């Protein structure tokens, strides 16, 4: 029958091996998800933000209103992905990643700023679309980007719900 394990009592080797494998898969999935999210933030920056700044299509205030703290969010996830990748490259059954998550937890507060600005971001974006040079640039981006700017701007909002 069923035997209850006493806390602290070691698991049998087969159960321990299964738990280690499951933990490893979860940690790999976290890293993969983090890298994918970072890649999307980098695409937003490369395809939209940098060219808009270089061409001076929007004012500094419009940029701030639309993109809010997206640069800081990208920096956070760049650091987080690098730390996780480094830790996972030397993975053993005793490897832990919780300290990395805890160390970066305070920086997640910037998501509050982004989410609170989201409606203003969309409103400003809509107003800027009335400017011909900006609207033409956005049309150009449809071929260079895997998704429209609105798809990128919703990602941090969705991350709050799913990350």
The DSSP-derived string for 3-57 is -PPPTTPPPPHHHHHHHHHHHHHHHHHHHHHHHHHHHHHHHIIIIIIHHHHHHT-
CA distance 48 to 82: 24
pLDDT of residue 1: 46
**Helix, strand, coil % over all residues of the chain, rounded to 5:** 80, 0, 20
pLDDT digits over 139-148, tens only?
Answer: 999 888 889 9
Place of tokens 């053993």: 92
138: nearest Cα among 47, 9, 72: 47
Closest CA to 77 of 49, 110, 51: 110
Comparing CA positions, the residue from 68, 44, 40, 47 lying closest to residue 137 is 47
Give residue 118's pLDDT.
96
Task: Name the pTM for this structure.
Answer: 0.85
Confidence (pLDDT) at 7: 65
User: Considering the chain, what is the average pLDDT of its residues?
Assistant: 90
Q: Which residue has the tokens 């890298």?
A: 35
Sign of the dihedral through C-alpha 63, 67, 68, 72:
negative
| 64-119 confidence digits (pLDDT tens) | 999 999 999 999 999 999 999 999 998 888 888 999 999 988 888 899 999 999 99
Least confident of 2-6, 51-55, 89-93, 116-120: 2-6
Confidence of residue 124 (pLDDT cuts 50, 70, 90): very high
8 Å CB contact between 71 and 110: no
Lowest mean per-residue pLDDT among 27-41, 69-83, 85-99, 123-137:
85-99
């Amino acid at each position: 029958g069923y035997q209850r394990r006493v806390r602290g009592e070691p698991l049998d080797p087969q159960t321990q091996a299964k738990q280690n494998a499951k933990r490893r898969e979860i940690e790999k999935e976290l890293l993969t998800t983090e890298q994918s999210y970072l890649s999307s933030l980098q695409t937003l920056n490369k395809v939209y933000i940098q060219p808009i700044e270089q061409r001076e299509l929007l004012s500094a205030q419009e940029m701030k209103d639309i993109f809010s703290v997206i640069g800081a969010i990208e920096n956070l996830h760049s650091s987080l992905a690098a730390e996780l990748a480094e830790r996972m490259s030397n993975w053993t059954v005793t490897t832990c990643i919780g300290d990395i998550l805890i160390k970066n937890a305070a920086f997640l507060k910037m998501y509050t700023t982004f989410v609170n600005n989201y409606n203003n971001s969309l409103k400003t974006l809509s107003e800027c679309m009335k400017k011909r040079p900006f609207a033409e640039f956005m049309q150009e981006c449809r071929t260079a980007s895997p998704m429209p700017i609105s798809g990128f701007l919703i990602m941090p909002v969705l991350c709050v719900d799913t990350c």
